[in-house]
Amino acid sequence: MQSWFIAWLALPVAVLFLSLFAFYLATAALMVWLTFRSPLSGRIQSFKGVVAPFFGSTAIIFGLLLAFLSNDIWDRNKQADRIVRIESNTLVALYSLSAASGADNSRLRSAIRAYVTAVVEDEWPRLAQQQRSATTDAAMNALLREVAQTGVSKDADVRKALLDMVLRIRNAHEDRVELSDDRTAVSKWAAVLMLALVTQLAISVVHLERPRPQIAALFIFTLAAVSVLGLLAIHEAPFQPPVFVPPGPIGDVLQQVPI
């Protein structure tokens, strides 16, 4: 089920929204048909009298689950943006400290630029596929080796500070890769999608008198639910297009670190 869920999230935006709209529009049409046109319509009509506030109970539960789901997704995107900025700022700080302490050299600058280039050009497209970049890992190791060399700085305190910065960059990199694999539990999505169906059912039950009000109520709710669910779905993976955290802050390091 997890693989099906990931494949659904990877659909183009238009197809993703269309799949949601088609599914819930079909279930709404089925409920209208069952209520007014099917052989079971007589029995279903016997439930007339369910008061309108009954719909509110299921709608509130649906809204609460939707809020929990959206909180998970927005929090993941905020983490991704924060990690990218930490990585970018630490790369700039690494170069700035090395230059200010006299430890700046062409090999260190080349190592920083090679790492940034690997992240932007090779790793970012792979993150969308939940893959690591061997090129970026090699560039990270090369940067660590360069800073670890005793020749980078004769001052032990400066060398320790530089090493701490590289380790912070590596930790941010690992957090970013780990976050690219993170997805909301399928059970949470299943619960929200199921509650949307239950809410449609509740709307149908409180509109058993005439078909047109039932159709209008179901259509309005379906349109609202699909809009929100689709919006959350395209933000589910923070590094997966079409809506994703860009590598811009890391790429900007190239403008601040000379060749």
What would the mean pLDDT of 228-255 be, rounded to a whole number?
Answer: 93
Cβ(87)–Cβ(115) below 8 Å:
no
pTM of the model: 0.85
Cβ(109)–Cβ(95) below 8 Å:
yes
Q: Quick check: 16 pLDDT over 90?
A: yes
Which pLDDT band, with edges at 50, 70 and 90, does 242 fall under? confident
**Nearest CA among 169, 175, 104, 123 for reference residue 143:** 169
**For position 37, what pLDDT does the model report?**
92
Domain ranges within the chain, ordered by starting residue = 2-256
Q: Quick check: 1 pLDDT over 70?
A: no
Which pLDDT band, with edges at 50, 70 and 90, does 154 fall under? low
Q: What are the pLDDT digits (tens) for 86-117?
A: 999 999 999 998 888 876 678 889 999 999 99
DSSP 3-state assignment of 76?
helix
